Structure 1
Amino acid sequence: MSNRKKMAVMNVFSAIMYYVANSIIGFINRKVFTVYLGSELLGLNGLVVSVISMLSLLELGVASSIGYSLYKPLEEKNYGEVKAIMQLFSRLYRYIGIAVAAIGLVLIPFLPFFVKTTINQNYVIAVYLIFLLDAVLSYFMAYRRTIIVSAQKDYINKNADTFLYIVTGILQIIIICVWKNYIASLIVKLVFTVLNNLYLYIKAGKMFPYLNDKNLHGKIEKEVKDKIVYNVKALFVIKIASYCVVGTDNILLSAFADLTAVAIYSGYTLIIGIINNLFNRSFGYITANIGNYLIGHNKEEIYQFYNKLNFLNYLITSYTSIALLVLLNEFIGKVWLGEDYVFPMAAVAVLVFNNYLRFCTQAAEAFRSAAGLYSPKPFVKYIALLEGGVNLVVSVALAYFAKMGIYGIFLGTSVSTIVSIVTVAWINYRFLFEKPLYQYFFDFFRYIILAILMGGVSLAIFKIVYTTHTVINICSGLIISFAVPLGINFAIFGRSEEWKYFINMMKTAGCKIGGKNRK
């Protein structure tokens, strides 16, 4: 095995271990939190995380842009340029850290407007300041993580982070269970985060000793600087839009409902995130060869290949969404957190619908990315801001003026996601496939109607067979969520080319697994 492949395998394995550890610790920590500290503090935790995430927008996508600019000089062993880029990175992060600290402190008087709670405001401010300090300190050391990633050795970062999550998670659980002290648990996390960043800072210095060489001087080429600035601008727009769509819900829930709603919502987002990582994001591996396929195939062949992957995208997303619809409340209410931490089924249905909308365009996004069609027209990159703006305006209008509360906030996300769906479809069909846009929406509405139908049937059957035994309910829910979509999809698509492609893919995967097992 080549060194490059070996590092790739190590990166993937360490990422899986990090994800597993993070998920397990997250589940246990959330349960301990609700039992010993209550819903308001859990909600406060989620709200402060959202506020700090908003401040992190000041990062402007610098890390991603710098990371991209490091690939070439690292490959060419141009250590002078690497050091110069990292010095620029260090300066930018210092300025960003100072700006985050200043703006974070300015926001303190406004916290009561967002935090509807009986918790003492001084306690709220103390929690906020610990989170703020954690974020600010990271900017002064964590920047060296990027060069480790660019050197294709991200497993070093992930292994350190996995150890951090396990150790801090266990210590936080002990502190909360024994002393019921939320502040102390945050201080422990702060200390270990600083130690982790310090370790990686020193580790990077040993891996790349020229970073500490005072006699080495280099400069950044003008085109590299220009590329960094260009990428920062583009990523800044994307980050703002993404935050406005998926990062503001906790703040809006706190402002228009209360911290208990934030606490309940955090349980749903944790489970939905884990399920999507297990199923929907695995779609990226399936579409890894799209870029190569685009070369050497005509428009019609590319379009037919897209239709097959889009159908596969629909199967995965509809299945995960239906399973979530059927089992979310059962799992959260009966197995995990308790009945006080579940939303009404109508709210869950909107959350699941949003999840479907968010992931039903993965095939389209993959083709857009493979073709490099991020901004085929100058105005396209700003459409993402429109999506974020629509989310905020519609959410506030429905939650406050229409008095719809949490339903208004969730429906705001539904409406804004349509902007993204239309944009990606228009780009692909206009510039890649050269097909009329109505063909996309024919499949889009056909699939979404079927998903809603299958979800309704699955939920109705689940209620009919529902028992007083939670384990039986979970098992029956999983079977129903799989069998109903499978039966309906087979009845409708069983003779289609897309279904045959799906079956052949499953057979190929099964043969590979069987072959490995025989070996």
Structure 2
Amino acid sequence: MEESRVKKSLLNARVNLIFYVLILLISFFSRKIFLNCLGADFVGLTGTLMSLLNFLNLAELGISTAIGYVLYKPIFEHDETRINEIISVLGYMYRWIGRIIIAAGVALSCFLPVIFPSTGFSYGIIYFAYYSFLASSLIGYFANYRQTLLGADQRNYVVAFYFQTASIIKIICQMLSAWYTGSYYLWIGIELFFGIIYSFILNWKINQVYPWLKSNVALGKELFKKYPEVTKYTKQLFMHRLGSFFQFQVTPFLVYAFVSLQMAAYFGNYSTIVEKLHLLVNNLLGSTEASVGNLIAEGNAGKIRKVFSELFSLRMLIAGTVCFPLYQLLEPFITLWLGAGYILPREIMLLLVIRLFITITRGVVDQFLYGYGLFWDVWAPLAESVINISVAIIGGYLWGLPGVLLGGISSLILIVGIWKPFMLYNWGFRKNVMNYWFQFGYQLALILISAVFMGWIWKFVPLQPSASFFSWFLCAFLMAASYGGVTVLLMYCGTQGMRGMVRRALEMAGTRLPWRKKTE
């Protein structure tokens, strides 16, 4: 069973990594074309509209995550009847959520003239974009809800393959339309068209993978009361989704409010790079989420804590290896990519790097909290949202964009950095949380030692990352490889988690360390 979990996790990670590289390359190239051919204001407008619709998607309430958790046990027991019932309940709930989003979306559209009083775009463009994005998001509620089973069954590689393939073709078509026509309407229409095509292909594939899956929305209505845990976890997870929304989706609005729509686009350039790097880590390590849930379902406490230690060390290593080159090379990349005029003050970059580090390292705690079903701290996302918005508004008024970013960092440190580990250790592991604090502080010190040492070394390296894209990529590769190598060495010598992770990696590669006992 453990081997199966590892194989599925590796397959998910491999497929995600391949498409991540492809999407990353095409995204940076396409954004430059969109900025040049459609304008920074249009890019800022579409980004702001999508953030608005992400607010409406809060109505999803976290149902898919709750259903995923409920599915772990029947998947482990191969109970197809129970799986069909749970997916039917999901379909019934999603139909209602979809109707609520339609009503809320129409109501919100009445306020678009107030939200965008003077953008330079006609309201025809604004409304066409808004309703096209709205229609694309609704497809998931009425047609794509069964993909939740793929995630719970560690088959996210199926979703990734078809979704990312559709995304690549879509972006290419949008690039061509922007380059040759400059039509806003055509660019938006392509977005909607590919959302529909992806839905048809995904459902065809789900029928192939699970020929026995016969979900029925009418049956879901009858079975709704049979699964009270879905409602219980959904209520709790809704509040967590609310906190996540305010952490990541409100920032563009606050930038627009305190600075300008153009600055929202400039900031979007930076945040695009940071989000792509965060996506890379999620693609590599997020594939272990379902395996963590299945591991916890087995109930072996010693194995659970061992895997946590290994994944924690891996996350710390990756966070450092991503953030160190990002801090050194972000500005040269923006200059090469878009031009020196798009450079923001250096403190913006530092704050983004700090936020990225926290969001990467938090992942392992979140995975185990979800695996244990610990969603009851509904006050935490409320507190996180209040801290975020309050600090961001005050900071935005006083310092502009840096002040807005301080809101998110403050809430992450207090809630994600302090409260979440305390919750996991007390109600999940049943251990003293000081074990976590010692582990975090000790490994953070190792990462910082490596950063200081490599920062000093790179002062003597003659490579200039701003000379060309080739020089930049060469610097990025060498910097990440050298920093990662030094950090792995430090963490292998100093942490049990990294030693366990390295040994596990060697075993999966068909190698065993010579000094380990054969019975181990």
Instruction: Check whether TM > 0.5.
Output: yes
Of residues 290, 295, 300, the one that matches 1:295 is 300
Of residues 377, 388, 392, the one that matches 2:389 is 392
Using the TM superposition, give the Cα deviation of residue 48 of structure 1 relative to its aligned residue in structure 2, in angstroms.
1.1
Using the TM superposition, give the Cα deviation of residue 476 of structure 1 relative to its aligned residue in structure 2, in angstroms.
4.1
Of residues 76, 79, 95, the one that matches 2:79 is 76
SS of the counterpart of 1:143? coil
C-alpha distance 514-329 of structure 1, shift in aligned 2 (>3 A): farther
Matched, 1:251 2:253: yes
Q: How is 1:193-342 mapped onto 2 (pairs within 5 angstroms)?
A: 193-201=195-203, 208=211, 211=214, 224-279=226-281, 282-283=284-285, 291=296, 295=300, 297=302, 310-334=312-336, 336-342=337-343
C-alpha distance 324-38 of structure 1, shift in aligned 2 (>3 A): same
Of residues 462, 466, 469, the one that matches 2:467 is 469
Report the counterpart of residue 411 of structure 2 in structure 1. 416
* Amino acid across the alignment from 1:475: L
CA contact (8 A) 1:398 1:412 kept: yes
- Aligned counterparts of 2:504 and 2:151: Cα–Cα separation in 1: 33
Report the counterpart of residue 158 of structure 1 in structure 2. 160
Q: How many equivalent residue pairs?
A: 499
The unaligned stretches of length 5 or more in structure 1 are none
Task: Name which of structure 1's ranges 343-352 and 147-156 shifts more when overlaid on structure 2.
Answer: 147-156
SS of the counterpart of 2:111? helix
C-alpha distance 248-398 of structure 1, shift in aligned 2 (>3 A): same
Task: Name which of structure 1's ranges 424-433 and 46-55 shifts more when overlaid on structure 2.
Answer: 424-433
Report the counterpart of residue 28 of structure 1 in structure 2. 29
Using the TM superposition, give the Cα deviation of residue 178 of structure 1 relative to its aligned residue in structure 2, in angstroms.
0.2
C-alpha distance 347-224 of structure 1, shift in aligned 2 (>3 A): same
C-alpha distance 76-424 of structure 1, shift in aligned 2 (>3 A): closer
SS of the counterpart of 2:432? coil
CA contact (8 A) 2:143 2:199 kept: yes
C-alpha distance 473-86 of structure 1, shift in aligned 2 (>3 A): closer
Report the counterpart of residue 62 of structure 2 in structure 1. 61
Task: Name which of structure 1's ranges 406-415 and 186-195 shifts more when overlaid on structure 2.
Answer: 186-195
Using the TM superposition, give the Cα deviation of residue 117 of structure 1 relative to its aligned residue in structure 2, in angstroms.
5.6
- Aligned counterparts of 1:211 and 1:286: Cα–Cα separation in 2: 27
- Aligned counterparts of 1:515 and 1:110: Cα–Cα separation in 2: 62
Report the counterpart of residue 383 of structure 1 in structure 2. 380
Question: What does the per-residue CA deviation read over 1:466-490, in whole Å, with 9 as the maximum and x for residues that have no partner?
Answer: 7462344553465456656866997
Matched, 1:407 2:405: no
- Aligned counterparts of 1:144 and 1:269: Cα–Cα separation in 2: 31
Alignment TM-score, normalising by the size of structure 2: 0.79
SS of the counterpart of 1:75? coil
- Aligned counterparts of 2:309 and 2:219: Cα–Cα separation in 1: 53
Using the TM superposition, give the Cα deviation of residue 330 of structure 1 relative to its aligned residue in structure 2, in angstroms.
1.1
* Amino acid across the alignment from 1:333: T
SS of the counterpart of 2:120? coil
CA contact (8 A) 2:443 2:491 kept: no
Of residues 418, 421, 427, the one that matches 2:423 is 427
C-alpha distance 513-242 of structure 1, shift in aligned 2 (>3 A): same
SS of the counterpart of 1:357? helix
CA contact (8 A) 1:93 1:140 kept: yes
CA contact (8 A) 2:13 2:284 kept: no
C-alpha distance 85-293 of structure 1, shift in aligned 2 (>3 A): closer
Percent sequence identity is 22
